[in-house]
Amino acid sequence: MAEVEARLGVERAEVVGRIAALRRDLAGVIGAAAGANADDEHDPEGATIAFERAQLAALLAAAEQRLSDVDGALARLAAGGYGTCERCGGAISVERLEARPTAVTCRVCASHDGVRR
Segments making up each domain of the chain, as ranges: 2-82, 83-117
Q: Alpha-carbon distance 85 to 15, whole Å?
A: 24
**In one letter, which amino acid is 36?**
A
CA separation, residue 84 to residues 14, 18, 22, 66, 77 (Å): 25, 29, 33, 19, 10
- Which carries the bigger pLDDT value, residue 54 or residue 35? 54
pLDDT, tens digit, for every residue of 15-49?
Answer: 999 999 999 999 998 888 776 655 555 556 556 88
Q: Tell me the whole-structure pTM to 2 decimals.
A: 0.82
